[in-house]
A and B are shown apart, each in its own frame.
Chain A
């Protein structure tokens, strides 16, 4: 049921992931999530075209009541878009008592109630559609500003002019484990940090920002002066370490972290490096809450990302005011955002991509150069992307998707199937789906797994049902209208080895997911199947084990025995092209891939957009640039700073190539475009080489 017949409303404004992560999936996050602490849930709401967050109203709320908190930047948006728009929010569930196990129902009814004013506005103005809420991992209450707080930047102070006539350029880094007192971020004189702002989203609130706290250049300099040079003391005493929902070491206390590497590669000045140019770079950093919170069970990070962009652009205005006397001065901003995602529709239409894109476009529209740099992803040869040819389904025979779950996986596994909704419900293609466990057992479902491609309102749920094996719930099947273009089938399976052994486990092994077209118009395009990333982010150990498509026709290795660098034969289900980072497929992002430093050849893992005819320039959804992501096949990774001044470590992946390109864009030192490489496949995978 998608719509309540009496009210004409969707009873739930959240999507399939939310119904899982805040529903039955929550139990599986038990070790990392303290359920009694779930009160503040950040998220992203996607509004129909023409609607604005201010349409939710600034309704009064009483202390302890549930609230939907938007920042002034969000509420101040005036321009009504002709497209759906995405906005970050913070949901405060209020002082309500224990919310488990009916948490998702509480959330949905709360969102329903808080959306009343918006719905009134939509209906008064004849706008079709509903708000669609995406929920992220809850924030520990100690992080959250109970007054709501604003995403804002405090005034900046001017530095010595870099060189006459040249504008500073702002490099912004969104990452985990930002070593804000690192010497490589200092100016050439070694006196003051170039890190003008650093928002630590996972730190204890200082009651200014909506969550966490930020440090300004003056504060970082003061900390360095008061506690230096012992950087352990600086971090321990700054009060700026992450509040960890479970327990663990704050990321900046590891030897080397993703963020320390990335910020150094993007904007660092190692001792001895020519200094004049790098002083042109002012730095803004946003440290995300620890990945251990974010990546546990399929929660997104949308709100953190969108708030980060808002913050960065506000900081850029303050820096412009301080350095140029005019907050509208067109300071270039280059944002490096080294995060990837393997799910999504891959056409730029996912809600988060829309949010990212809209923010970059809005700043560009003010005449301020803005570049969002993101990695292409590392899943080229990870067997997480498959395509079912249209012909294989049009014949009416079932196509079995071979999905292999690993043993000892402590986290759930997710499979997405992306089907384009058709414009007209008449003769829309209809499907059925059948699941077979590795043991050969057939799980049961309360409802038959049948659906079609008839258009529905965004967010509408066509089917949402438990998957039961031996009477125990081991997963969830849902089909919903994700946006105006796409229907998404989501299959969520519980861990094969739950941390809480009393919970049901999914058998590991090869699952058969048989998709069958049962009627309606033939398909004209292949159907994309995508597995969500399920391995541990760098520096974390939460017990994820990556599931794969176990396709016998997947030619993983080339004739020379090396991992394949090219596409599979047409009759293979697994595809290596089309694996591009699923939150970097829109037209306002610069996508960076990686190559081996010694040979200049694409790495075995660097993801790529779809194959395209030789000579055709890259567009949205393609790789635009590439840089070194491994020194060689034998010496993996590139070297950049660890968390403490003077340390360095190797990190591999397109994540480390992106900041090398961001740096060159910021400094204007990209080499001239070389003649196109001979190998057309490499040209698609690598785009323009930046070094």
Chain B
């Protein structure tokens, strides 16, 4: 309030220097007006406003149907799970795992607990968004890659909003409520275990950044910012795995939470890329099986006769859902691409 007071005093003290009072009754010059309709005004808004715009713009086509899913031949069928849709098209069908399966997964939580000392620093610095863990792979710098960070932040914010819907509806208890010896090394947040939010966010970011690297390195060789795309993409996926599994090490998540989160993150990353560039998104369904999470498995599913792929209960269809570009995301994507010079 002191600054407001100061501004009032100063205004009263100096306003006479502007000359005669201007009450707007008559035009005294050319008055500016922003273009309409146009997204070129985006740079004028605060970062948090743009972030809010991306999230809301994404969310308006997002919907969900707890307890029922679409049948392949049309119509719906009841099931214990939730189907997430985009533009009314299902992109992720999550079956709720049984209590018995979660119990069996406790052994992984116990096994990974031995690595708490190894991974302590990572776990503690990844409680919030682990942006630096991706930024260092691509050499992103504050100031220089501001829009790329904005893209990452938008992806994280969207993932954080969306993931709470299946977490809420599927309502799965955390490891510390099932195994007395779990003793998490950080406090357990008060939301459901399945799917893992950290996995959702990390995989969404990895997919978006992998798409970015592919786009950048599709440029003519002299304009490419990186010598090779594949090693970086491998690292982005590997880092997402590491971040997600760190939550199992910490005692907060089962490996099947990571499978579900990775599937959701992958879907959201695809949708965001499609909103940036246009393109198609795919359906996937996850019916949890008792397994550990390994990125090498997640990225190398086995083909099915139907043309889908399958790995440890995660079935994926080819990308067939057309997604239209969003001017907001398009603007951000272009700005991001411009930040990468060879």
Interface residues of A (CB under 8 A from B): 227, 229-230, 232-233, 236-237, 244, 247-249, 253-255, 541
Q: How many contacts A-B (CB < 8 Å)? A: 38
Answer whether residue B304 sits at the interface, using C-beta atoms and an 8 A cutoff: no
Per-residue A-contact encoding for B106-122, CB less than 8 Å = 1, 0 else: 01001111110011000
| Besides the known contacts A227-B296, A230-B238, A230-B296, 10 further A-B residue pairs in the complex with CB atoms under 8 A apart | A230-B234, A232-B295, A236-B296, A237-B296, A247-B110, A247-B111, A248-B110, A248-B114, A249-B112, A255-B115
**Complex Cα gap A236–B238 (Å):** 15
Q: Is B115 in contact with A233, judged by CB distance below 8 angstroms? A: no
Chain A CB within 10 A, most for which of B107, B118, B119, B295? B118
Chain B interface residue number, banded: 10 to 19
What does DSSP make chain B's interface, helix, strand, loop or mixed? helix
Enumerate chain B residues within 8 angstroms of A229, measured Cβ to Cβ: 234
Contact B107 A247 (CB under 8 A): yes
Question: Considering the complex of A and B, which 3 residue pairs feature the smallest CB-CB distances, nearest first?
Answer: A233-B296, A249-B114, A255-B118
Distance A227 CA – B292 CA, assembled complex (angstroms): 17
Once the chains are docked, how many angstroms separate the CA of A601 from the CA of B292? 48
By beta carbon, the residue of chain B nearest A642 is B118
Min CB distance B37 to A, Å, is: 48
Q: Taking A230-B238, A254-B118 as contacts, is the C-beta distance between A248 and B111 under 8 angstroms?
A: yes
Q: A230-B238, A254-B118, A255-B118 are in contact. Are A249 and B294 (CB under 8 A)?
A: no
Residues of chain A within 8 A of B294, CB atoms compared: 232-233, 236-237
Bound-state Cα–Cα, A541 to B238, Å: 28
The distance in angstroms between the C-alpha atoms of A253 and B295, with both chains bound, is 15
Q: Which of B103-142 contact A (CB under 8 A)?
A: 107, 110-115, 118-119
B115 engages A236 (CB within 8 Å): no
What residues of chain A lie closer than 8 Å to B234, measured between beta carbons?
229-230
Interface residues of B in 211-268 (CB under 8 A from A): 234, 238
| Residue in A closest to B296 when the chains form the complex, CB atoms | A233
CB nearest to B112 among chain A residues: A249
Interface centre among A229, A244, A249, A255, by most B CB within 10 Å? A249
Of the residues B110, B113, B115, contact of A254 by C-beta under 8 Å: B115
Q: Which residue of B lies closest to A292 (CB)?
A: B114
Q: How far is the CA of A361 from the CA of B137 in the complex (A)?
A: 54
Question: Measured between C-beta atoms, what is the minimum distance from B229 to chain A in Å?
Answer: 16
User: Are A254 and B296 in contact (CB-based, < 8 A)?
Assistant: no
Is the beta-carbon distance between B295 and A254 smaller than 8 angstroms?
no
Bound CA span A232–B115, Å: 14
Q: Pick from B114, B118, B297 the residue with the most CB of A within 10 Å.
A: B114
Q: How far is the CA of A541 from the CA of B114 in the complex (A)?
A: 9
**Chain B 179-193 near chain A by CB (<8 Å), digits 1 or 0:** 000000000000000
Return the chain B residue nearest A253 by Cβ.
Answer: B115
Complex A-B: 23 CB contacts under 8 Å:
A227-B296, A229-B234, A230-B234, A230-B295, A230-B296, A232-B294, A232-B295, A232-B296, A233-B294, A233-B295, A233-B296, A236-B294, A236-B296, A237-B294, A237-B296, A247-B107, A247-B110, A248-B110, A249-B112, A249-B115, A254-B114, A254-B115, A541-B114
Chain B residues near A233 (CB, 8 Å)? Answer: 294-297
- Complex: A103 Cα to B297 Cα, angstroms: 44
> For B107, what are the chain A residues with a Cβ–Cβ distance below 8 Å?
247
- Determine if B296 and A249 form an interchain contact, defined as CB atoms under 8 angstroms apart: no
Residues of A within 8 A of B295 (CB): 230, 232-233
Question: For residue B249, which residue of chain A has the nearest CB?
Answer: A249
- Cα A233 to Cα B292 with chains together (Å): 11
Which residue, of A227, A232, A254, A255, has the highest number of chain B Cβ atoms within 10 A?
Answer: A232
Contact with A along B286-302 (1 / 0, CB 8 A): 00000010111100000
